[in-house]
Amino acid sequence: MNVTRSAALLLAATLVLGVLLGVLGAGALRPRFERGRPPMGPPNPGREGRPGAFAEHMEAAIAPMDSAQRSAVRLVIERTAARNRMLIEQLNQTLPASVDSMRVELAPMLREDQRERLEQAVARLPAVRGPGGAGGRGPPGERPPP
């Protein structure tokens, strides 16, 4: 077999492999698009910070069998959602102070380059989320923009 024929066969095999991978990749992503979801990211974009989203999600997962069960289930779910909101708000208030305390405690142990890397890592931490956090229902506070 000459070089030209070998090159042509290699090119054709690469093309066939690329088409095959493209078809398989599209098939793997199709179910997410059919459910109205982007290929990556949160399962329900725009809903995760909306009041009542947790309760709706849990109720849908349980699928109560009648209105009596729905009322009883909803009571427990809403109580849990309120407790979750309170925990998130507490975390939003205490987490930045905890990270600052860590930085102060580590500073004497670290070389200058290590302190700089720590500062860069802390700056890359995601903004506080949930009620009052980025994407939440309250004011964003003093955080850099996303």
Whether residue 55 is contained in a domain is answered as no
134: pLDDT strictly greater than 80 = no
Whether residue 57 is contained in a domain is answered as no
Q: Check: pTM over 0.85? Answer yes or no.
A: no
Neighbours of 64 (CB within 10 A): 14
Strand, helix or coil for residue 3: helix
Whether residue 58 is contained in a domain is answered as no
Structure tokens at 120: 């860069």
Whether residue 24 is contained in a domain is answered as yes
pLDDT tens-digit series, residues 55-107: 889 898 989 899 999 999 999 999 999 998 899 888 888 888 899 999 999 99
Number of compact structural domains in the chain: 1
Whether residue 85 is contained in a domain is answered as no
Whether residue 67 is contained in a domain is answered as no
Whether residue 125 is contained in a domain is answered as no
* Residue-range definition of the domain harbouring residue 25: 1-41
Report which of residues 25 and 140 the model is more confident about.
25
Strand, helix or coil for residue 30: helix
Whether residue 126 is contained in a domain is answered as no
Distance CA 127, CA 124 (A): 9
- How much is the mean pLDDT over the chain? 78
